């Protein structure tokens, strides 16, 4: 698989950031972010999605552990 172009990377990062923002704002109701998650998953290579979600959920656990 060829490396994503700059436009593809920017689209992926933008979709990721929108999804994360929604997830942060809607911690009680993740269903509100389904559309953004679909956009994130369709904009990024599969391995990036796995890595980014792993990092995202680890970060949430670390934030909860601080409190």
- Does the predicted TM-score (pTM) go above 0.85? no
pLDDT at 18: 95
d(CA 1, CA 57): 27
Contact 56, 23 (CB under 8 A): yes
d(CA 55, CA 44): 15
pLDDT tops 90 at residue 53? no
pLDDT at 1: 63
pLDDT at 65: 76
By CB atoms closer than 10 A (0-12, 13-18, 19+), residue 9 is: middle
């Amino acid at each position: 698989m060829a490396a994503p172009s700059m436009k593809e990377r920017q689209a992926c990062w933008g979709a990721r950031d929108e999804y994360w923002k929604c997830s942060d704002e809607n911690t009680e109701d993740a269903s509100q972010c389904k559309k953004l998650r679909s956009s994130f998953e369709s904009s990024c290579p599969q391995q990036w999605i796995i890595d980014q979600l792993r990092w995202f959920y680890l970060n949430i656990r670390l934030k909860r552990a601080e409190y």
